[in-house]
Amino acid sequence: MTSENTPVSELGLHELTTWLRRCTELIDENAPHLTDLDAAIGDADHGANMQRGFDAVAGILDGEYEDVQALMKKVGMTLVSSVGGASGPLYGTFFLRFATSAKGADALDLHALFAALQAGVHGIEERGKSMIGQKTMLDAWVPALDAYQRAGETLQGAVLAGAAGAQEGRDATGPMEATKGRASYLGERSVGHIDPGAASTALLWEALADVVRPGGPTPDGEADADGEAAS
Amino acid sequence: MTGIVVVSHSRQLAEAAVDLARQMVRDGGPRIEIAAGVQDPETDQPGLGTDAAAISAAIEEADDGQGVVVLMDLGSAILSARTALEFTEPDIVERTRLSWAPLVEGLVGAVVTAASGADPAEVAAQAEVASEAKHQQLAD
């Protein structure tokens, strides 16, 4: 359980549920921004799609779950069947693979969380047949994982570093030319716009950082992972 | 008979394409299932999008033991169809083919070929050469 002074050293069902609720809040707040980003280089539905998906996720969080795997599998299936756009299968696969990695666990410590996140990101790579540098959500996921791994030592430190890595990765998608997804039809015209999938990934990380940060969300300082910083 | 699944972002597009293809096999023809669109929870109206869980259910529904060919429109329809195979009965996945054929031409080719009793590999192959007829027609 999160308290003012004790750093979180593992994520159990309570913390993971808190994470997902925070994801829903941040997606709701940022949906117009995500849609604006998608209007520039896609089909202008990323905000609405993510909102529909995470609202559906919020609806399953009050259920009883035996362990981490059961909860995350349900989250993955919910996203897969409610998002509608490419983010559905991509984020859905992320949570399904995260679930498989967490098999039998009641809580995830520093290493188990890394393994689960990494399994999820491999799922995204496999599903999208894409890699870093193609102006996709992976450009936020991969730097986040790298930063998490480099920070090591404590769960809190690693997650906060991961969230900062996700923001940097998101911002770095601006100058990239898209070669995957709808944006690839634009070619060079995709340059100069932040990738909406990378922006939503940074929000998921921001939500995770809020769970491990003592005292919860902070409105200013380095904890501010808001997408507005990119503009 | 090889079953057919139509995956589209739009329910109306899928239904219209199926109507068009069914004209070719007025009596009988293969089982055709549609997995298209997503439900907007607020308005309860069908919206644009694809749903991997619905695709998986449609594949299982369309299979009578001979296998299934899945035709898709674009982009996330393909991602969702691939994702659907992750939670479809493994036996059925083995006899399921995702076809790269263009949706309308491919569907007509697939329905006609399936009606002749062909297996999924042949149905997918005929779907994929179906746009060749259009190419020929314009070249004439």
Contact B76 A85 (CB under 8 A): yes
Residue with tokens 């009596």: B27
Report how far Cα B131 is from the mean position of its chain's Cα atoms. Answer: 16
Distance from CA of B5 to the nearest CA of A (A): 17
Residue A203, pLDDT score? 98
Classified as helix, coil or strand, B131 is helix
Residue with tokens 């188990």: A112
Residue A88, token pair as written in the block:
């559905």
Residue with tokens 């809040």: A25
B89: Cα within 13 Å, side-chain hemisphere: 13
* Whether complex ipTM tops 0.90: no
* Residues of chain B that touch chain A, judged by Cβ-Cβ distance less than 8 Å: 9, 38, 40-41, 47-54, 75-76, 79-80, 82-83, 86-87
Pick from A135-139, A225-229, B42-46, B134-138: least confident: A225-229
Rounded Cα distance between B14 and B106, Å, is 13
Q: pLDDT, tens digit, for every residue of A62-114?
A: 999 999 999 999 999 999 999 999 999 999 999 999 999 999 999 999 999 99
Rounded Cα distance between B135 and B47, Å, is 33
Contact A92 B47 (CB under 8 A): no
Element (H, E) at B32: strand B32-36
* Average pLDDT over every residue of A47-62: 96
| A92 to A56, A220, B57, B86, B97: CA distances (angstroms) | 12, 31, 17, 11, 22
Q: pLDDT, tens digit, for every residue of B44-65?
A: 777 899 999 999 999 999 999 9
Q: Which percentage of chain A shows pLDDT scores above 90?
A: 83
Which ranges in chain B belong to alpha helices (H)? Answer: 11-22, 52-62, 76-86, 90-94, 103-115, 120-128, 130-139
Averaged pLDDT of chain B: 94
Q: pLDDT, tens digit, for every residue of A23-49?
A: 999 999 999 999 999 999 988 999 999
The answer to whether A171 faces chain B, any CB pair under 8 Å, is no
Residue A220 has pLDDT above 90, yes or no: no
Residue B86, pLDDT score? 92
Residue B41 has pLDDT above 90, yes or no: no
Residue A227 has pLDDT above 80, yes or no: no
Residue B97 has pLDDT above 80, yes or no: yes
Instruction: Mention every residue, 6+ apart, whose C-beta is less than 8 A from residue B24.
Output: B108, B111, B112, B115
Residue A181, pLDDT score? 84
Q: Which percentage of chain B shows pLDDT scores above 90?
A: 81
Give the residue from B83, B85, B98, B100 with the most A CB atoms within 10 Å of its CB, the best one to mutate. B83
Contact B76 A86 (CB under 8 A): yes
Give a three-class secondary structure readout of chain A: CCCCCCCCCEEEHHHHHHHHHHHHHHHHHHHHHHHHHHHHHCCCCHHHHHHHHHHHHHCCCCCCCCCHHHHHHHHHHHHHCCCCCCHHHHHHHHHHHHHHHCCCCCEEEHHHHHHHHHHHHHHHHHHHCCCCCCCCCHHHHHHHHHHHHHHCCCHHHHHHHHHHHHHHHHHHCCCCCCCCCHHHHHHHHHCCCCCHHHHHHHHHHHHHHHHHCCCCCCCCHHHCCCHHHHC
Residue A140 has pLDDT above 50, yes or no: yes
Contact B41 A80 (CB under 8 A): no
Averaged pLDDT of chain A: 91
For residue B87, the chain A residue with the least C-alpha distance is A77
The answer to whether A210 faces chain B, any CB pair under 8 Å, is no
| B129 to A146, B66, B100: CA distances (angstroms) | 45, 22, 10
Residue A4, pLDDT score? 54
